[in-house]
Structure 1
Amino acid sequence: MEDTPKLYNDPILSKKRKGSIDDPYQLYNETQVVYNGKAQLTEVPNREMRVEVFGDDKMWKEVEDGELQDDYFRVDYLNGVVYFNASNEGKSLQFKYSGEGAYYFPGSRIWTKRDGNEVVETLDSLTERTRKATEECEEATEESREVTKWTKYATSDYEDVVANTRKIYLPKVYTYTDIMTTYPNPQIGWTVVAEDTHIEWRWDGFDWIDIDVSDAYDGFNVIVSEVPPNNVNHLWLQAPVSPFAARIKKSETAPLTNQIWLKIE
């Protein structure tokens, strides 16, 4: 229920022009829409100068009483309301008149809900409730933006981890050189085993990196080529041959094919 003492201490204000040289009436030429059979003017019109209505291809006639025909209208000169026949509902019409002023009602004096003759909600309280709901909605929206932002960060970090660690195994090839010819356009994460050395090679976006030995196997990895490999962590054996990967094997007897033998006496 509304605070009655506060409600009655919120005054209705009025602005009344004298119609004199110093305080003349305000001339209006405005468009209003007929709603619920009436149009509300911006100000209270002067009765002597009357109200003129234009629009809808009709010659509008003002009447003071009786039934309103399709092209008739009646003016409440006390409250600034123009009444029409129901057939004109929703139409936009032009109004010309001399405004004497207006009454301004505070939101606390305009009811939006009632219980019988008891006012339970006014425009003021409805507006305040709407404002609070809007603020809460804006706070929730901002929180949602923050959550979305951090989710994007987390997703980006996850994608980086996946890009740097995922392994997509492809069919084996026989030698390291075969990787170049079999998979000339690799994608990040592609992993291939060279059968001659049992080394797993993974494409990191720039180079094929040896990341593991597919089976237990002793020895050291080495790249044999004319120019140094891109990966500085590789052992490099310069030789006038096409690049291939091999392993250095220390032993008393000759190792398997495609291994570099470091003979132990």
Structure 2
Amino acid sequence: MADFAELYNDPILSKKRIGSVEDPYLTYNETLTIFNGRALLTEIPNREFRVEVTGDNKEWREIEDGKLDDKYFKVDYLMGVVFFNASNEGKSLTFNYSGEGASFFPASRIWIKRQGNMVIETLQGLIDEAEDAIIRMNERIAECERVTKRCVEITKWCRELTSEYEYVVENTKKIYKPSVYTYADIISTYPNPLIGWTVAVKETKTVYRWDGFDWIDIGTSEVYEGFTVLLSTTEPYSTNYVWYQDEELALENKKIVVSNVAPGSGEVWYEID
């Protein structure tokens, strides 16, 4: 409820004309719709010149007292309100009068909710609540904008990380293809390589990777052919070995290498003339 002790600090303001040559009344001819049995004039009408009502194919008569019949109306010359019978609700009528001006009431003096003769809520209270709601809404909007901005920053950061990750993957992935004997065989065997294709060259034991433009040397690799040779005095359990039995040799694994030059240690070399 509003603090009614402060209402008297909110005076009613009036702007009235005196009806002289210097300050004449303003003539009105306006069409208004009857709502809740009344029509609110733009200005306060001059009592001497009265209010004339026309429309709805009726001859309207103003009365000051008595029952409001279908063709009658009353005028409140202090507030600028014209009253009608309920049967005229919603009709649009024309009002002719001389306006003296208007009184302006503060929002704190206009009630919008009451209990009997007690005012529960005023227009000013409703305005204050609306202003508070607008402030809270603006705060929420500002917070939403802050969160949205942060989300945009995080999205941008994620895209940059994704781009960097894709770049790393694109430049480091290896898709191994069957080995070839010479470097020249790479060109003929894989004429249309994709990025990441990796091929070992047996002749030089070198591994090459296609980076999108060239076959790049990425290091050496032991390229073996055939079976693993097991030098042992006892037969192996696995059938994936070539077993060479020798009582004088310690247990040792060897590899068969296709080569026309002597191999290093750990390999069995079978030379064909």
- Runs of 4+ aligned residues of structure 1 deviating over 6 Å after TM superposition are 252-255
Write the distance in 1 (CA, Å) between the matches of 2:47 and 2:150. Answer: 66
Q: What letter corresponds to residue 43 of structure 1 in structure 2?
A: E
Report deviation, 1:29. 2.7
* 2:207 aligned partner: 220
* 2:140 aligned partner: 140
Q: What letter corresponds to residue 19 of structure 2 in structure 1?
A: G
Q: What letter corresponds to residue 66 of structure 1 in structure 2?
A: K
What secondary structure does 2:100 align onto? strand
Match of 1:235 among 216, 224, 233: 216
What secondary structure does 2:95 align onto? strand
What secondary structure does 2:196 align onto? strand
1:230/1:41 CA distance change after superposition, 3 Å: same
1:151/1:107 CA distance change after superposition, 3 Å: same
* 1:123 aligned partner: 123
Report deviation, 1:24. 0.6
Residue 43 of structure 2 is aligned to residue 61 of structure 1: no
Give matches, 1:1-265, under 5 Å.
Answer: 1-55=1-55, 57-64=56-63, 65-69=66-70, 71-162=71-162, 165=165, 193=175, 195-196=177-178, 208-210=194-196, 219-223=206-210, 230=212, 235=216
| Cα offsets for 1:87-113 (capped at 9, x unmatched) | 333344432221012222222222233
Greater Cα radius of gyration, structure 1 or 2? 2
1:107/1:32 CA distance change after superposition, 3 Å: same
1:208/1:162 CA distance change after superposition, 3 Å: farther
Do the aligned residues in 1 keep the contact of 2:28 with 2:95 (CA within 8 Å)? yes
Do the aligned residues in 2 keep the contact of 1:60 with 1:73 (CA within 8 Å)? no
Do the aligned residues in 1 keep the contact of 2:37 with 2:86 (CA within 8 Å)? yes
Write the distance in 2 (CA, Å) between the matches of 1:27 and 1:144. Answer: 53
Extract unaligned runs of 5+ from structure 2: 180-192, 200-204, 227-258, 264-273
Write the distance in 2 (CA, Å) between the matches of 1:96 and 1:45. Answer: 9
* 2:244 aligned partner: none
Write the distance in 1 (CA, Å) between the matches of 2:176 and 2:222. Answer: 22
Report deviation, 1:149. 2.8
Report deviation, 1:254. 7.3
* 2:233 aligned partner: none
* 1:174 aligned partner: none
- Report how many residues are paired: 206
Do the aligned residues in 1 keep the contact of 2:177 with 2:197 (CA within 8 Å)? no
| Cα offsets for 1:131-183 (capped at 9, x unmatched) | 111111111112112212322332343345446547xxxxxxxxxxxxxxxxx
Write the distance in 1 (CA, Å) between the matches of 2:2 and 2:44. Answer: 29
The farther-off stretch of 57-66 and 76-85 is 57-66
What secondary structure does 1:45 align onto? coil
Report deviation, 1:6. 1.8
TM-score between both structures, scaled by the size of structure 1: 0.61
* 1:241 aligned partner: none
Extract unaligned runs of 5+ from structure 1: 167-187, 198-206, 224-228, 237-246, 256-260
1:85/1:221 CA distance change after superposition, 3 Å: farther
What secondary structure does 2:99 align onto? strand
Do the aligned residues in 1 keep the contact of 2:43 with 2:100 (CA within 8 Å)? yes
1:161/1:93 CA distance change after superposition, 3 Å: farther
Write the distance in 2 (CA, Å) between the matches of 1:41 and 1:92. Answer: 13
Percent identical among aligned pairs is 43
